[in-house]
């Protein structure tokens, strides 16, 4: 009888632990995304997303269109121009006012003067 009680208790604890793991909210994670002519960086600890066009081989820019997929938060569209345009640093936007665990989609296009064309770099989703 005692063995059955112990088995039942262990099984119950396992089910409860599994339920808690499944019920956890989505977690945000910082990332760096190389987009060919620059990069897009999200820093979860500061709630900042930045674009930076590489400062090599002529004029370049990185454009980011950012919109929440679920939840509430700001939407942005911006370009970061490189040092050929007089902007050697990155250009950032804040997601501090977004609801926790809002899913965002970042869609990126880039330009490089030597190529002379704009290239679509696709989309990436992440949680703020």
Domain ranges of the chain: 28-127
Give the model's pLDDT for residue 28. 62
Residues 6 or more apart from 87 whose CB is under 8 A from it?
80, 81
Give the model's pLDDT for residue 29. 87
Q: State both tokens at 108.
A: 């990126």
Q: Are 128 and 73 in contact (CB under 8 A)?
A: yes
Give the model's pLDDT for residue 9. 40
**CA of 64: how far to CAs of 5, 30, 125, in Å?**
58, 17, 12
Q: Are 26 and 101 in contact (CB under 8 A)?
A: yes
pTM value is: 0.77
Domain spanning 28-127: which CATH class is it, in words? mainly beta
Q: State both tokens at 14.
A: 């396992």
Bridge partners, residue 68, by sequence: 104
Q: Are 33 and 41 in contact (CB under 8 A)?
A: yes
pLDDT by position in tens, the chain (length 128): 444 434 444 344 443 444 433 334 445 689 999 999 999 999 999 999 999 999 988 999 999 999 999 878 999 999 999 999 998 899 999 999 998 889 999 999 999 999 999 999 999 999 98
């Amino acid at each position: 009888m005692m063995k059955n009680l112990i088995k039942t208790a262990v099984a119950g604890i396992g089910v409860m632990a599994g339920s808690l793991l499944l019920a956890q909210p989505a977690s945000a994670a910082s990332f760096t995304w190389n987009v060919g002519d620059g990069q897009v960086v999200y820093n979860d600890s500061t709630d900042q997303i930045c674009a930076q066009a590489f400062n090599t081989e002529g004029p370049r820019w990185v454009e980011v269109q950012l919109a929440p997929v679920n939840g509430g938060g700001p939407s942005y569209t911006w370009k970061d121009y490189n040092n050929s345009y007089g902007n050697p640093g990155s250009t950032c936007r804040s997601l501090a006012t977004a609801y926790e665990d809002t899913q965002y989609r970042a869609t990126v296009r880039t330009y490089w003067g030597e190529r002379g064309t704009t290239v679509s770099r696709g989309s990436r989703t992440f949680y703020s």
